[in-house]
Structure 1
Amino acid sequence: MFSAIFAFLPLSLRLTEEAGRPMTVITCCLSLSLLVLTALLQTLGDFRTNEAIVPALAGAILMIQRSAGFAMLPARGDRSGLLEASGSIALATLSASVWLVIDPPASPAAFAAALVLSWPGLVDGINAFADKIFHRAAAGAGARDLAPGAFPVIARAQHILIDKTAIMSGPDLMVSNVMAFDNEPRTLLAVAASAEAHATHPIAHALRQLAVQWRVTLRSPDRYDPAPGLGAVALLGGQTVVLGSTDLLKRLKIDSFTADAIARSLESDGKTVLRVAVGGRVVGVLGLEGTLRPDAGVAGRALRNEGLEPWLHTSDSQKTREALAEMLGMNAPDDPKPGETAQEASLRLFAPGTCLRLSLSDDRRALELFEATPSAPDRMDDARPIAVSDTQDIGAFPALKALASRRDLLASRARQTLVALWSCCGLLGATGVFPLLSAPVVFGAAIAILLIFARISVTGTLPVRS
């Protein structure tokens, strides 16, 4: 009884946590019931002392094993273990009923042995054990800062929406085409760069950089109104200057037929194209391009091989999207919404829980993987990544998907094996083949099975089914 009480002390601190609480509560209640059963049996004259104290011994073993198991494998909360515990109680009750008919004094020992040897005290900690093993493997692949529930999220995902910034080798863009309709290219560049004189996004930086190279004098705009994902509208020298996509020009009712015809050839090469309009009339087209990561296409194919369908998100035109996606072996979403963010696109295109989102961090020093889930409107910026890698480690995410699939398979196979082990040992305990005191051996065998499954699944020896 004292052993059961002292084993309960560390577990009592865990009762405030939701994870692992169901198994802890049912183990404590069952142990208390066994202690009460011993007190009742001692008052009956049909049971000798050594027969009556067996349930109390079983209660102490249950509490000690639960306390030790929870210390080694803290529960994640994604599996309660109550189903397996119900099966153990049913097996023990059935064996006690049979022994009551055959040999009543032996029924307490049979009940206690069947219960303790079949008790699934580690079942809700299998996922935690798998996470512990696979977090180290993920760090070796280049992924870090994994959230506690990252592996199940990644394992069940079917799509990944990759922001264009995540596949660029650097933040810088380069202006490759300056095509003026009525004026000189220098004049067109001066207007465009002056309108973006105080903007901080990469396109504005590329325009100002070329203006410095061409020694073009820039002016400050009187007003600047950005349209995220579409372009910008500025007031420069009393005239309205519009820079952006054809969607922005259509919104402002500016005819861009000629510019669109020229832009299509640039967009087919995967370039970002800006239409420039002054005073409600299109005066030229600017083409910009960046350097794609050399391993971006390889990562796209690797993601598809691991069961994640890669999709490219960019605010460029549909033709540019399709050209880039074809180069990288990815998919281009149909019917994009103007100015749509990657988060909004992932929620619109895919069912909740089936999509991941990969983007570049705000400081441009890391790649961040997010779960595409709806957020409250006032908390859209509070999303936390479920995994992070260095910018040069885009290949960490295909490896992470493979590890997540193996981790789920490890947990499933290990759970099936352990439940089979506990069931067999419970039957052997009920028949008297295994004594109650062999419970520590069964506990150690369960830990050994987990270690074996973890080793062969991390190395890829355990096959993964789609």
Structure 2
Amino acid sequence: MSLGFATAFLALACLVHGEGVIAGHSSLMVFGTHSALIFSMFAAIFALLSLSFSLNSEIGRSLTLFTSAVSTVLLASAFLIQQGGLPMGASGSLALAAAFLMVLRAYGVAILPPRGDHSGLREATFSLLLAVVGASLWWGLAGPMHAPAILAATLLLSWPHLIDGINAFADKVFHQAALNAGTRVLEPGAFSKIARARDILIDKMAVMSGPDLIVTNVMAFNNEPRTLLAVAASAEAQSSHPVAQALRQLAEQWHVALKHPDRFEPAPGLGVVALLGGQTVVIGTTDLLKRLKIDSFTADAIARSLEADGKTALRVAVGGRVVGVLGLEGTLRQDAGVAGMALRREGLIPWLFSGDSPKTREALAGLLGLEHLDDPEPGESAQQAAARIFPGGAPLVLSLSEDRLSLELREGHEAGSNDRDRPDPIAVSDTDDIGAFPALKALAMRRTLLAVHARRLLTGLWLFAGLCGGAALVPLFAAPMLFAVCLAILWAFARFSVADTLKSID
């Protein structure tokens, strides 16, 4: 509604400013000689009201505020010119330019919502400088009478109303291509975030063929493997961790009876400590045993051989003495290594995030063609690791969803103390569509390249129109027509040029 009022007041300002209006339709001059100025002011105010929702978002706010500031200066200049006794036409041109700037900006944001790829402040500043230079030349050559009109026409015709929303039409085409490539959900602005990223942190669970682990080795030192399994599975009886599920599943297969622990204390990223039958049972990594001052020298030698094969090795200690080692592994996706290579081809460096030992991480990373990170901190999530290891680098994080039914891509900025505080995913796919994410990066990079070409084309058009306005060859009333031409160019660019580049991905 506000934009409708702004358009209506702009139309009234144009009518009042016309030379034939004063003589034939004096009823429109409700504010006397200030009518054009006041109608233009109302148009600018209502346009600003229609833009108020976009001012709450950082995306697009900078160009909107700059446009509002320039419009305010033009309205103030128009008022001062009228107070100085110059003809109404001189002030009316500035007032109309102010109204057109705000109304066209409002239409631009409504039709092509800003994407955050480009602020447009540089082009807007150049437009302002071009208008000032053009008006100064006319002032020096023809006097002050023509300078305001030249300033208004040059500024308005060269103003980049649409530049920060230049990808809006193209995004619809790319969004469909992303869905065809396997993406199930794609948030607004995802292409911009993906295009900026240079690193992607891939959680180990995202490259497994399923959420379940399998116990492959039950190596008891002094007792029977069934006894070792009974102790370990009983200690983990109250846990929902995949390790606990794997132990209970094997215990059921071996028909091993389980007990409930008297106390259960998880150590995130390290293992668990439980009280079972009056004895302390520890299941976990060598770091957990060192923290509890339990000697694990013999177990470490066995664990290293398991970890060299990419398995997860857990030490089991009862009453302060290591009694065995458990080996677990999951099945890697057959396409995980291909996805890693595809990500590299698209300019992303893939890193493996895993809470396993260094040897296990190194073996898995080698199998998948990924880079491996330094030791994660105890209980650290992939999101938190990305924020710690790549501060300010805006990496992407690919992880398994909480319900283990989909893959989620997020920005890796600072997360809270738990995964509830992590940001919403910018893209989601089914678990068997890990190849959708290299395709997303390819689409994002192509979109960025095409946006550069479109921006250059429109900037050249605005420059040409501004020069024509500065040479008094095109009046400021041509601004809406130029605005429509720019919209048509962007639509055609998205419909044909962009679509042609996507055939290989579709």
Aligned with 2:371: secondary structure? coil
CA distance in 2, matches of 1:24, 1:15: 13
How much has 1:221 moved relative to structure 2? 1.2
Is 1:114–1:429's contact at 8 Å kept on the other side of the alignment? Answer: yes
In the alignment, residue 153 of structure 1 is paired with which amino acid? K
How much has 1:427 moved relative to structure 2? 0.9
Aligned with 1:248: secondary structure? helix
If the length of structure 1 is used for normalisation, what is the TM-score?
A: 0.88
Change (3 A) 1:37 1:379: farther
Is 2:282–2:316's contact at 8 Å kept on the other side of the alignment? Answer: yes
Aligned with 1:417: secondary structure? helix
CA distance in 1, matches of 2:450, 2:433: 26
Q: What are the superposed Cα offsets for residues 71-124 of structure 1, whole Å, 9 maximum, x if unpaired?
A: 212335665434322322222222222223433454444333222221222223
Q: What are the superposed Cα offsets for residues 161-216 of structure 1, whole Å, 9 maximum, x if unpaired?
A: 11111111111111112222212211111111111122111111111111111111
Change (3 A) 1:237 1:319: same
Change (3 A) 1:177 1:392: same
Which residue number corresponds to residue 28 of structure 1?
71
In the alignment, residue 124 of structure 1 is paired with which amino acid? D
Aligned with 1:285: secondary structure? strand
Structure 1 residue 72 and structure 2 residue 111: aligned?
yes
In structure 2, which of residues 419, 422, 441 is the aligned counterpart of residue 401 of structure 1?
441
Which residue number corresponds to residue 15 of structure 1?
52
CA distance in 2, matches of 1:103, 1:323: 78
Is 2:271–2:288's contact at 8 Å kept on the other side of the alignment? Answer: yes
RMSD (Å) for aligned C-alpha atoms: 2.9
CA distance in 1, matches of 2:255, 2:146: 100
Which residue number corresponds to residue 217 of structure 1?
257
CA distance in 1, matches of 2:331, 2:162: 51
Aligned with 1:95: secondary structure? helix
Is 1:166–1:360's contact at 8 Å kept on the other side of the alignment? Answer: yes
Structure 1 residue 243 and structure 2 residue 283: aligned?
yes
Aligned runs of 1:96-245 on 2, under 5 Å?
96-104=135-143, 105-126=145-166, 128=168, 131=171, 133-245=173-285
Change (3 A) 1:432 1:290: same
If the length of structure 2 is used for normalisation, what is the TM-score?
A: 0.81
In the alignment, residue 263 of structure 2 is paired with which amino acid? R
Q: What are the superposed Cα offsets for residues 390-449 of structure 1, whole Å, 9 maximum, x if unpaired?
A: 222211221222222233333333333322221121112222333434333322332233
Aligned with 1:358: secondary structure? strand
CA distance in 1, matches of 2:156, 2:338: 52
Q: Aligned pair count?
A: 458
How much has 1:389 moved relative to structure 2? 1.9
Aligned with 2:280: secondary structure? strand
Which residue number corresponds to residue 298 of structure 2?
258
Is 1:8–1:28's contact at 8 Å kept on the other side of the alignment? Answer: no
Is 1:156–1:353's contact at 8 Å kept on the other side of the alignment? Answer: no
Change (3 A) 1:58 1:227: closer
Aligned with 1:243: secondary structure? strand
In the alignment, residue 65 of structure 1 is paired with which amino acid? L
CA distance in 1, matches of 2:390, 2:208: 25
| Aligned residues with identical type, % of pairs | 59
In the alignment, residue 22 of structure 1 is paired with which amino acid? L
Structure 1 residue 291 and structure 2 residue 328: aligned?
no
In the alignment, residue 447 of structure 1 is paired with which amino acid? L
Deviates more, 1:92-101 or 1:448-457: 448-457
CA distance in 1, matches of 2:490, 2:134: 28
Is 1:223–1:234's contact at 8 Å kept on the other side of the alignment? Answer: yes
Is 1:231–1:245's contact at 8 Å kept on the other side of the alignment? Answer: yes
CA distance in 1, matches of 2:174, 2:502: 14
In structure 2, which of residues 452, 465, 474 is the aligned counterpart of residue 425 of structure 1?
465
How much has 1:31 moved relative to structure 2? 5.3
In structure 1, which of residues 83, 86, 89 is the aligned counterpart of residue 125 of structure 2?
86
Aligned with 2:52: secondary structure? coil
How much has 1:326 moved relative to structure 2? 1.0
CA distance in 1, matches of 2:399, 2:303: 27
Change (3 A) 1:135 1:23: farther
Is 1:266–1:287's contact at 8 Å kept on the other side of the alignment? Answer: yes
In the alignment, residue 214 of structure 2 is paired with which amino acid? M
Structure 1 residue 444 and structure 2 residue 481: aligned?
no
In the alignment, residue 48 of structure 2 is paired with which amino acid? L
Is 1:38–1:56's contact at 8 Å kept on the other side of the alignment? Answer: no
Deviates more, 1:205-214 or 1:121-130: 121-130
Which residue number corresponds to residue 451 of structure 2?
411
Deviates more, 1:168-177 or 1:14-23: 14-23
Is 1:23–1:81's contact at 8 Å kept on the other side of the alignment? Answer: no
CA distance in 1, matches of 2:377, 2:341: 26
Which residue number corresponds to residue 356 of structure 2?
316
CA distance in 2, matches of 1:280, 1:64: 76
CA distance in 1, matches of 2:392, 2:91: 55
Deviates more, 1:86-95 or 1:136-145: 136-145
CA distance in 2, matches of 1:200, 1:70: 49
Structure 1 residue 340 and structure 2 residue 380: aligned?
yes
In the alignment, residue 12 of structure 1 is paired with which amino acid? L
Unmatched runs of 5 consecutive residues or more in structure 2: 1-9, 14-39
Change (3 A) 1:174 1:293: same
Which residue number corresponds to residue 349 of structure 1?
389
Change (3 A) 1:427 1:283: same
